[in-house]
Amino acid sequence: MNEILNLYSETSKALRKASDGINLFSYINPLNGEDLYFEFTKNTNLKFSVFDFIYKEISVDINSIRDEVNKIQIPAQIPELQTILENKVADIKKQLTLLDYRGDPDKFSEASVEAYGRPTQHNLNVAMRILISFEPEQHQETHTAQELKDALEKAFIELNLKNWIVVLSDTCRQTFVSGREDFDGGGMVSISSKRMFSANEIQRLPIHEVKVHALRRDNGLKQPVDIFGTGLTGYINTEEGLALNAEKLTGTSCSTSFRRYAARTLAVDALLNGFSLNAIYDMLRDYGIDHADSFETVKRTARGGGFTKDHVYLDGYKRVKKYFRSGKNPDPLFVGKVGIDDIDLVNTLLEKSYLKPPNQIPDFFRNVSTSSIKNAS
């Protein structure tokens, strides 16, 4: 059995190398986003469009990566792993297509829908209800980045997660988990050193970033095939949905975050329906989103030419909540970075001992019940 799993492990590493080489977000995040923000702040009547964004020059050979991926042979001895890796090949090709069409609004947004989907009418209705009924919370940002760093490091110690570091960065604007290139295990959490944080964030972000994102990665990297640590195709909806449900279950969620995710959902839909960037900004302001968040939401939605990924937060929250409401076991969701759509494959691999049970899952998910999820809605 080990020899067969080694074949899948080597194939997974080849796909991981190709995927890491794409680095999509570094090529679609505008270099001039802050400049545009300052210009727009001075004059909110200023017209702007996707063509105003300036991007980093694409330095990777897209066709070369595509050729390498096409050469990869997926073993067939374990059908469930074969399906997972074949889906990853398709996912990588979709990422390459996004790079092909960067800057072309029609083609890029179409490719983005193919990769990440689009908001459902149900989720659009939920988003509107959130923006109408959830009052934004005012949190004083009185805590330093170092205090957040200490809280995150404490969470890593509580879970006994090794080979993880927390870094203060002058360049990042948000807190996020990423892998590390210097070794295969563990990872890194980056924090903006330029901003202050609220008491809510000091409590909430260790749960969101460490006890969901980092833990799923850590559990996945302990599996025989490392794709479970880097992410199966479509895992991102479940990833963010787990994090938001974790916040609800621990009493650390805030209405401002849910309003932000609702705004992103409506912005994606508006862009796909032909709204101008100024019209999307005005719509968000009408819903009570402040100037800075409205502009940031528009920028995120419009990057590359029309990026639909941001609807996954609210979609994932609803899907994960439904999963737990049906009384399903949380364990399969923590074997690694897997999505709800792959749970049947994951359960089969667990039954056949091709996957190991999760090394650990957070207590708030271990003790979850149907009633507790209902109370957390």
Q: How far is CA 286 from CA 124, 141, 281, 294, 329, in A?
A: 16, 25, 9, 10, 41
Low-confidence ranges of the chain (pLDDT < 70): 1, 173, 178-185, 369-377
Contacts of 75 (CB under 8 A, 6+ apart): 4, 7, 8, 11, 81, 82
Longest CA–CA span in the chain (Å) reads 65
For residue 372, the model assigns a pLDDT of: 52
* Spatial separation of the C-alpha atoms in residues 165 and 205, rounded to whole Å: 15
* Spatial separation of the C-alpha atoms in residues 258 and 320, rounded to whole Å: 15
Supply 360's token pair: 């650990």
Report pLDDT digits (tens) over 291-344.
Answer: 999 999 999 999 999 999 999 999 999 999 999 999 999 999 999 999 999 999
Amino acid at 185: G
For residue 208, the model assigns a pLDDT of: 94
Angle between helices 291-302 and 33-42 (to 10 degrees): 140
For residue 371, the model assigns a pLDDT of: 43
- Domain residue spans of the chain: 2-375
For residue 169, the model assigns a pLDDT of: 86
Report pLDDT digits (tens) over 282-294.
Answer: 999 999 999 999 9
Supply 193's token pair: 């050193």
For residue 304, the model assigns a pLDDT of: 97
Supply 306's token pair: 């029309």
